[in-house]
Structure 1
């Protein structure tokens, strides 16, 4: 697999983490992979063969182009042939200025661009599909997004709270977040739901787990018990519970191909 990342223009950098492409030189043996929630939404274009995603154990073909909402649980996907993907990876609250439907309604869904943007979404899909270079794909996407940028939907309180969560790797309680932002918990939850599609607690747990996964990937730990302690989980049981909630597996079961695939799709360009 050939994975590459590309940076957005300065105008869109506040909203987009990166663009990325994934290509396989030949048809791979179908293998189910686990994608772990990371709190970021993606606009995905398949210029290769489509992927299956598993919903309630049943394989469903992903749209040719779509925006994938927030993942609240592990996502299982499987290639159907030769992989060719171009994706826009948004910051945690980066998609809301372009959204045409409530962010929360997109959780765990691959929403086709046509449903989100009508005929202009279909035209964008065709332009990206037939573009001969990655830069052309980026240019089409950036022109499309800049036309739809609605800065009135940006929530500065949510932005600063997300920055704090990232700074402390999610190791902070919602009570402390509420105190530091001077916003009561219920209002903070409403604002997060509207801007991100997750509650502050969900995003905090996601960010903490992603930080833990990076330690696993880089082998920056002496034991899983030590890793759980350093990540400030209450105890080993709490660590395993959260880990299984977001990956579907225990830490020992997950370490290996699933971890590599998780970071291939979601752990880079951050």
Structure 2
């Protein structure tokens, strides 16, 4: 299940779930239109039946912060911060994970959370934001569908927005928008001029994104390449890396492997 339209500039991509002969399924559904400037999607990763061996799930770097929990045990809820590399998780033989994928900068903006304290980390949500953690713990149960979960999350986040406690530094989000519009292909020091000093830029990107503008641009460039859905053959043989701003193939392969966990030649269509 996946909606067909979204209002955001950025489409964070995760690899398709192809293991175990379709016994595991990944789905996304978009939030209410009023939330689409902040949340990319609600997602679900579940096993349709018990698997013969534990499911290994690779999460590639996508520039986002996610909230997630196992629907069988919603009291165990977590936050996954901005990542500078891929991660791999063993989910067992039976699972039903739900999540909220915030667009870059949105989670810290909405909840005044310092993203740099979550970078490359997978943490229990309660110490980070007790209110959301309690909401997940008390409102969700195994029988709920992804659509039903979307409705409840939409209402929670819309109510939070209605409180009006959000202060936006327009210069920062103009910088983020510029990086997204350029698909990460720009010289940060020379071209990211939105009225912020280099020191201000670094401080704000650390707080709202979780890392520097340069690192964020690299992730956006990688994600833009995935969004273009290149074939394995084109990744291997075409000079896509030049169009994407990589200065040579070795540089492209090294960065791709860091963010994806595989070299381009190992990726299956």
Is the shorter-chain TM-score for this pair beyond 0.5, marking a shared fold? yes
**2:40 match:** 17
Change (3 A) 1:235 1:21: same
Q: Is the aligned partner of 1:247 residue 2:260? A: yes
- Residues 47-67 of structure 1, C-alpha deviations (whole Å, 9 max, x = no match): 1589xxxxxxxxxxxx83112
For 1:132 and 1:222, the matched residues in 2 are separated by 40
Q: Is the aligned partner of 1:104 residue 2:116? A: yes
TM-score, normalization by structure 2: 0.79
Task: Figure out how many residues of one structure are paired with residues of the other and give that number.
Answer: 243
Alignment of 1:1-270 (within 5 A): 1-28=24-51, 29-48=53-72, 64-99=76-111, 101-118=113-130, 121-130=133-142, 132-149=144-161, 151-179=165-193, 181-215=194-228, 217-219=230-232, 221=234, 223-224=236-237, 226-253=239-266, 255-256=267-268
Give the match's secondary structure for 2:192: helix
For 1:82 and 1:106, the matched residues in 2 are separated by 28
Q: CA RMSD in A?
A: 2.6
Q: Specify every segment of 5 or more residues in structure 2 that has no aligned partner in the other structure, as ranges.
A: 1-23
For 1:18 and 1:221, the matched residues in 2 are separated by 29
CA contact (8 A) 2:55 2:92 kept: no
Change (3 A) 1:152 1:214: closer
For 1:92 and 1:131, the matched residues in 2 are separated by 31
TM-score, normalization by structure 1: 0.79
* 1:251, distance to aligned residue in structure 2 (A): 2.3
| Mean CA deviation greater in 201-210 or 239-248 | 239-248
Give the match's secondary structure for 2:68: strand
For 1:198 and 1:65, the matched residues in 2 are separated by 24
For 1:232 and 1:120, the matched residues in 2 are separated by 39
CA contact (8 A) 1:49 1:79 kept: no
* 1:103, distance to aligned residue in structure 2 (A): 1.5
CA contact (8 A) 2:236 2:264 kept: no
